Amino acid sequence: MTVADTSNISDLKTICDEKIRFYLKRKQYKEIHFHEDVLLVAGYIGAIVCLLDFLYSYKYPFNQTIWFSYISVPIYAAATAFAYYYDRAVKKQSFYCGKNDKHTLMAISNTKKNNQHYFLTIQINKNSGSSAKSFGDYFFEDGELCSTALENEVDRLISIADVASSKKQ
């Protein structure tokens, strides 16, 4: 039993996202962590360059190490800019990427400030099914999640995206 604070939109969204993630795993989708890995590598590159700059500057006087700082700061800035761009342009608001025998699936969710709607998109091979429903459709008044309503909506969106995908092939 999953219970949420019904006055907190972020809490409601997080619970829906997690429930969808577990539901898709039960439907035999294997989660793909490629997007998270790309962001981690960019972060590690920036952090390692900064650490090397710090260690080099700690060991030698400033005048001898300033050239390394001139190199490391732009590398760190480029890694951070790349991670930001990748997160905003490629990953967008996706919270789940998975694959099964037939196709690759991406689940994208969004909420808007002062809006009680949960925007959910299921994308299969660049074809998608979308919905915008009130959180009240997925939660009871006491904050308990109605799993069947959310799972039925996910199944409906998967079938819409799957039909669109099979028509193009």
Which tens digits make up the pLDDT trace of 53-96?
A: 999 999 999 889 999 999 999 999 999 999 999 999 988 889 99
Q: Which residues pair with 109 in a beta bridge?
A: 120
**Residue ranges of domains in the chain:** 9-29+100-168, 35-91
Q: What is the spatial distance between Cα 151 and Cα 67, in angstroms, rounded to a whole number?
A: 57
Q: How far is CA 142 from CA 2, 92, 104, 121, 138, in A?
A: 11, 32, 36, 26, 12
Contact 157, 120 (CB under 8 A): yes
Q: pTM score, two decimals?
A: 0.80
Q: Is the pLDDT of residue 15 over 70?
A: yes
Which tens digits make up the pLDDT trace of 156-165?
A: 999 998 876 6
Torsion of CA 15, 13, 3, 131, to 10 degrees: -100
Rg of the chain, C-alpha, whole Å = 21
> What is the maximum span of the chain, computed from C-alpha positions, in angstroms?
66
Percent of the chain whose predicted confidence (pLDDT) is above 90: 71
The model's confidence at residue 26, banded by pLDDT at 50, 70 and 90, is: very high
